[in-house]
């Protein structure tokens, strides 16, 4: 739960992790499902006080995307409603196909299906989609959402629909144009996987007349099978059937239960007890995130085997090294070899927190993942290899005495000031101390941790990081984390002698329209970073969830690391 909370706070979108039995990632038992039946009420127990954002253009967290997308907000394309690998594939949703594009993938078109309606019965038009997307430009009102649309689409200085002048609006209408039921996006750059981008709820339709700006978050208009009956932050969100939705126009959603009740503000210990007890309405409940102390109760007892899951979520954790300061791979290697990753994992909750990562791309991105060759001497069981680390330090003293001296004098270690990190940093200091590397602990108030380390003025040597791809393509991982134009590059690797070569390879991969070929290129680039240790792979994190005995189809939807809420049903 803690980890999920951090994830939510960071606000990263999640996409694409395959259940990956083939990769040995899953120890979940899954549910044996019969034929889904209609009717009943699904309960969702939550420690949170609200859905971070129900406004589709502002929704950007895995669990909320899975929930709102599968119940209320339709998008041009969607992930398949399926368990395992299949769930990471895209299917047409509001559109009739997964999009058509020109030769260099700079112009994308989607044609809307017939029969799609909003909850008031009005037909969903191309203009509604264009309007919805346009809201993402209004960064002073529509906050927290993904900004892909505005960074890909060429709309000049468009400020969003609320403040736009007629000219600015005309420029947008040209960039995102409607021709009958066909919507066309004109992009600034080639985006080979733009139809994955359109799975984001930012590409959901919004009827302009109903847009209340900031307040739209409380009562967005539904385009899916359910609509809001009541929403009280801190108490509950109740969804009931949208009578104007028709199955014929929506081949994706199964819409089994009659209603959903999202219960907010529950104590974490109480949630677990209720799920374990499985009484009354809790038999129809799902709950994600289990308190560490309750994990053995649930996972060591076969009584729970049909209603629990322990699986990869889309996240990878890692540690950024400031390559500018630590401009010597031997020192970086010494740090990695000396680090007792097993002790860190144990302190964080043991194997339930995840498996040791072999890079930055999770096996869930099946096309892009290939097991990396890890540095010589790295212990596969996660324990420190002090001898090998010492040898790396000795090598560093001749290869780059200045950097070695810097490491011995003390490296600044930036991390959020939380109890979990207080424990972890002690292990770091202890591990690295064994090879003579000193650390200066720099705890940062959690809410300002990211802004602090992303500020170029902050001169850290080591800073933690965590990432999940925005959709099932490593194009949302490698370039984001390791190129100078990436959104989350904390490695300061621009001056590394190999950087120019790396950038060229990344550019080539981004332009590659053959998805299989592109995958191989991402695999190589992942290995490229691992070889240079610009960042140290940490863990492929896992999520644990439990559901009531009368809930069917309670699988984890790979792209989101969350239940596929819309696919759940009540067992009769």
Nearer to another protein, 203 or 336 (CB): 203
Which one among 217, 311, 368, 567 touches another protein, defined by CB under 8 A? 217
Going from the C-alpha of 564 to that of each of 31, 54, 556, 569, the distances in angstroms are 13, 17, 6, 11
Query: What whole-number distance in Å separates Cα of residue 218 and Cα of residue 228?
Result: 9
CA distance 91 to 113: 13
Name the residue nearer to another protein (CB basis): 60 or 352: 60
Cα-based distances in Å from 362 to 61, 368, 555 = 18, 8, 19
In the chain, helix, strand, coil percent, each to 5?
35, 20, 45
301 scored as a contact of another protein (CB under 8 A): no
**Near another protein in 68-107, by CB under 8 A:** none
Contact call for residue 277 and another protein (CB under 8 A)? yes
List the one residue out of 478, 403, 409, 476 whose CA is nearest residue 438: 409
Report the 3 state secondary structure along 43-56.
EEECCCCCCCCCCH
**What's the token pair of residue 522?**
């991402």
Residue 43 Cβ vs another protein, minimum distance, rounded to whole Å: 10
* Residues 28/84, Cβ–Cβ less than 8 Å: no
Question: Is 303 among the residues that bind another protein (CB under 8 A)?
Answer: no
Please, what is the minimum distance in Å from the beta carbon of residue 108 to another protein?
Answer: 23
Exactly one of 2, 235, 324, 438 binds another protein (CB under 8 A); that residue is 235
Beta carbons of 63 and 222 less than 8 angstroms apart: no
Q: With contacts defined by CB under 8 A, name the span among 144-152, 297-305, 502-510, 524-532 that binds another protein.
A: 144-152
Structure tokens at 442: 């720099």
Number of residues that bind another protein (CB under 8 A): 53
Q: Looking at beta carbons only, is 94 or 261 nearer to another protein?
A: 261
CA 279 to chain CA centroid, nearest Å = 33
Cα 476 from Cα 14, distance rounded (Å): 10
Q: Which is nearer to another protein, 8 or 347 (CB)?
A: 8
Which string of b and e fits 195-226 if b means at least 16 CB within 10 Å?
A: bbbbbbbbbbbbbeeebeeeebbeebbbbbbb
| 277 vs 515 by CB, closer to another protein | 277
Instruction: Determine the Cα–Cα distance for residues 197 and 178; give it in Å rounded to an integer.
Output: 19
Length of the chain (residues): 572
Residue 233 as a binder of another protein (CB under 8 A): the answer is yes
Q: Which of 39, 121, 280, 433 binds another protein (CB under 8 A)?
A: 280
User: Whose CA is closest to 466, among 564, 538, 516?
Assistant: 538
Complex with another protein: residue 252 or 361, whichever CB lies closer: 361
Is residue 24 a contact point for another protein (CB under 8 A)?
Answer: no
CB of 98 to another protein, least distance (A): 25
* CA atoms within 13 A of residue 315's CA, in its CB half-sphere: 28
Question: Interface with another protein includes 419 (CB under 8 A)?
Answer: no
Of residues 478 through 507, those in contact with another protein by CB under 8 A are 487-488
Q: Is 246 in the site for another protein (CB under 8 A)?
A: no
Stretch that binds another protein, among 78-86, 168-176, 228-236, 515-523 (CB under 8 A): 228-236
Give the x/- contact pattern for another protein in 27-66, rule: CB under 8 A.
Answer: ----------------------xx---------x------
- Least spacing, CB of residue 242 vs another protein, in Å: 22
Exactly one of 37, 104, 120, 163 binds another protein (CB under 8 A); that residue is 163
Judged by DSSP in three states, 536 sits in strand
* Residue position matching structure tokens 């307040």: 215
Residues within window 443-462 making contact with another protein, judged by CB under 8 A: 445-448, 450-451, 454-455
Run of H or E including 214: none
Binding residue (CB under 8 A) for another protein from 3, 13, 404, 556: 13
Q: Give the 3-state secondary structure of residue 451.
A: helix
Pairwise CA distance, residues 138 & 141, whole Å: 6
The count of other CB atoms within 10 Å of the CB of residue 54 is: 23
Chosen residue from 39, 121, 265, 433 binding another protein by CB under 8 A? 265
- Residue from 213, 292, 349, 443 touching another protein (CB under 8 A): that is 213
Cβ proximity to another protein, 366 vs 481, nearer residue:
481
Q: Which of 214, 258, 422, 430 forms a contact with another protein (CB under 8 A)? A: 214
Instruction: Return the range that interacts with another protein (CB under 8 A); candidates 241-249, 258-266, 393-401, 517-525.
Output: 258-266
CB of 294 to another protein, least distance (A): 13
**Residue 145 DSSP symbol:** S
Q: Which of 1, 218, 347, 395 binds another protein (CB under 8 A)?
A: 218
Tokens coding 67? 């929930």
The least CB distance from residue 451 to another protein, in Å, is 4
In eight-state DSSP terms, residue 374 is: P
Q: Is the dihedral of CA 490, 494, 497, 498 positive or negative?
A: positive
Three-state secondary structure call for residue 110? strand
Q: Which two tokens stand for residue 147?
A: 């900004």
Q: Is 229 in the site for another protein (CB under 8 A)?
A: no
Q: Does 167 bind another protein (CB under 8 A)?
A: no
Nearer Cβ to another protein (92/161): 161
Q: CB 525: neighbour CB atoms within 10 A?
A: 25
Binding another protein (rule: CB under 8 A), the pick from 212, 373, 405, 484 is 212
**278 contacts another protein (rule: CB under 8 A):** no
Question: In the complex, which residues of this chain contact another protein (CB under 8 A)?
Answer: 9-13, 49-50, 60, 138-141, 143-144, 146-147, 161-163, 211-215, 217-218, 232-236, 263, 265-267, 269-270, 273-274, 277, 279-280, 282, 445-448, 450-451, 454-455, 487-488
């Amino acid at each position: 739960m803690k980890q999920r909370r951090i994830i939510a706070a960071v606000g990263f979108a999640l996409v694409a992790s395959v259940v990956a039995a083939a990769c040995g990632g899953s120890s979940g038992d899954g549910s044996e499902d019969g034929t889904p039946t209609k009717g009943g009420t699904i309960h969702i127990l939550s420690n949170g006080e609200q859905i971070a954002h129900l406004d589709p253009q502002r929704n950007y967290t895995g669990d909320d995307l899975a929930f709102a997308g599968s119940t209320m907000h339709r998008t041009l394309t969607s992930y398949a409603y399926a368990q395992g690998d299949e769930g990471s594939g895209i299917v047409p949703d509001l559109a009739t196909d997964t999009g058509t594009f020109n030769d260099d993938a700079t112009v994308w078109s989607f044609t809307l299906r017939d029969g799609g309606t909003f909850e008031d019965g009005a037909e969903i038009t191309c203009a509604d989609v264009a309007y919805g997307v346009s809201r993402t430009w209004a960064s002073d009102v529509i906050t927290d959402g993904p900004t892909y649309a505005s960074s890909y689409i060429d709309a000049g200085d468009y400020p969003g629909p609320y403040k736009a002048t007629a000219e600015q609006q005309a420029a947008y209408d040209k960039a995102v144009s409607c021709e009958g039921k066909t919507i066309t996006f004109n992009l600034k750059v080639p985006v080979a996987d733009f139809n994955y981008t359109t799975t984001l709820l930012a590409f959901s339709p919004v009827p302009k007349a109903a847009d209340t700006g900031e307040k739209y978050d409380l009562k967005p208009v539904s385009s899916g099978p359910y609509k809001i009956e009541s929403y009280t932050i801190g108490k509950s969100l109740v969804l009931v059937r949208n009578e104007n939705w028709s199955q014929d126009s929506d081949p994706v959603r199964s819409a089994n239960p009659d209603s959903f009740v999202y219960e907010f503000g529950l104590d974490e210990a109480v949630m677990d007890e209720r799920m374990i007890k499985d009484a009354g309405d809790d038999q129809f409940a799902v709950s994600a995130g289990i308190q560490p102390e309750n994990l053995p109760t649930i996972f060591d007892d076969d009584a729970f085997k049909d209603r629990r899951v322990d699986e990869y979520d889309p996240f990878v954790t890692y540690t950024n090294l400031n390559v500018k300061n630590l401009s010597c791979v031997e020192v970086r290697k010494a740090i990695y070899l000396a680090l007792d990753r097993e002790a860190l994992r144990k302190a964080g909750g043991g194997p339930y927190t995840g498996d040791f990562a072999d890079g930055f791309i999770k096996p869930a991105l099946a096309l892009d993942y290939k097991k990396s060759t890890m540095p010589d001497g790295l212990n596969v069981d996660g324990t420190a290899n002090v001898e090998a680390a010492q040898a790396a330090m000795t090598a560093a003293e001749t290869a780059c005495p200045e950097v070695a001296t810097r490491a011995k004098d003390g490296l600044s270690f930036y991390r959020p000031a939380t109890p979990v990190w207080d424990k972890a940093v002690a292990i770091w200091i202890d591990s690295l101390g064994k090879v003579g590397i000193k650390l200066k602990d720099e705890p940062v108030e959690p809410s300002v941790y990211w802004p602090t380390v992303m500020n170029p003025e902050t001169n850290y040597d080591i800073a933690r990081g965590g990432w999940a791809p925005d959709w099932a393509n490593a194009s949302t991982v490698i370039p984001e984390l390791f190129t100078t134009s990436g959104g989350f590059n904390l490695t300061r690797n621009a001056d590394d002698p190999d950087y120019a070569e790396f950038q060229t390879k990344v550019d080539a991969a981004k332009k590659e329209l053959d998805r299989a070929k592109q995958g191989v290129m991402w695999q190589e680039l992942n290995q490229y970073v691992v070889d240079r240790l610009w960042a140290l792979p940490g863990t492929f994190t896992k999520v644990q969830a439990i559901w009531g005995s009368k809930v069917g189809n309670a699988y984890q939807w790979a792209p989101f690391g969350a239940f596929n809420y819309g696919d759940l049903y009540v067992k009769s």
